[in-house]
Amino acid sequence: MPELPEVETTRRGIEPWLVGRRIERVLVREPRLRWRVPAGLAGKVTGTRVCSVARRAKYLLIGTDAGTLILHLGMSGSLRILDAATPPLAHDHVDLVLDSGRCLRFNDPRRFGCLLFTAADPSRHRLLANLAVEPLSEAFTGEALWRRARGKRVAVKAFIMDSRTVAGVGNIYASEALFRAGIRPGLAAGRVSRARMDTLVAAIRDVLTEAIGVGGTTLRDYVNPSGMPGYFRQRLFVYERSGKACRRCGTAIRQFTQGARSTYWCPHCQR
Partner DNA sequence: ATGGGCACCTGGCTGC
Partner DNA sequence: TGCAGCCAGGTGCCCA
Point out the residues that are catalytic.
2-3, 58, 261
Point out which residues pair with 138 in neighbouring strands: none
Measured between alpha carbons, how far is 214 from 210 in angstroms, rounded to an integer?
Answer: 7
Q: Looking at 163, 182, 198, 205, which residue binds DNA (CB under 7 A)?
A: 163
Q: Is 110 in the site for DNA (CB under 7 A)?
A: yes
Q: Please identify which residue in 11, 72, 93, 184 interacts with DNA, judged by CB under 7 A.
A: 72
Question: Which of 2, 67 has the CB closer to DNA?
Answer: 2
Q: Work out how close the CB of 48 gets to DNA at its nearest, in angstroms, rounded to a whole number.
A: 25
For residue 219, the 8-state DSSP code is S
Cα angle 219, 225, 230 (rounded to 5 degrees) comes to 30
For the segment 187-246, give every residue that binds DNA (CB under 7 A).
216-222, 230
- Both ends of the chain: CA-CA distance in Å? 28
In sequence order, which residues have a C-beta less than 8 Å from that of residue 36 and are 6 or more positions away? none
Per-position x/- string for 119-158, each x denoting binding to DNA as judged by CB under 7 A, each - no binding? -------xx-----------------------xxxxx--x
Instruction: Output the smallest distance, CB 212 to DNA, in A.
Output: 13
Residues ≥6 apart with Cβ < 8 Å to 148? 165
Nearer to DNA, 43 or 259 (CB): 259
> Scanning residues 41 to 60, which ones bind DNA (CB under 7 A)?
57-59
Give the integer Cα–Cα distance in Å for 178 and 155.
12
The whole-angstrom separation of Cα 270 and Cα 12 is 34
Which of the stretches 94-102, 138-146, 193-201, 254-262 binds DNA when contact is defined by CB under 7 A? 254-262
The answer to whether 32 contacts DNA (rule: CB under 7 A) is yes
**Closer of 47 and 186 to DNA (Cβ):** 186
Q: Is 190 helix (H, G, I), strand (E, B) or coil?
A: helix
Number of residues interacting with DNA: please give it, by CB under 7 A.
Answer: 45
Binding mask 2-21 for DNA (x = CB under 7 A): xx--x---------------
CB contact at 8 A, 133 and 166: yes
Residue 260 near DNA by CB under 7 A = yes
Beta bridge partners of 253: none
Those residues whose C-beta lies under 8 Å from the C-beta of residue 234, and which sit 6 or more positions away, are none
Q: For strand 59-64 and strand 68-72, is the pairing parallel, antiparallel, or unpaired? A: antiparallel
Which residue ranges make up the site for DNA (CB under 7 A)?
Answer: 1-3, 6, 32, 34, 57-59, 72, 74-76, 90-91, 109-112, 126-127, 151-155, 158, 161, 163, 168, 170-172, 216-222, 230, 259-262
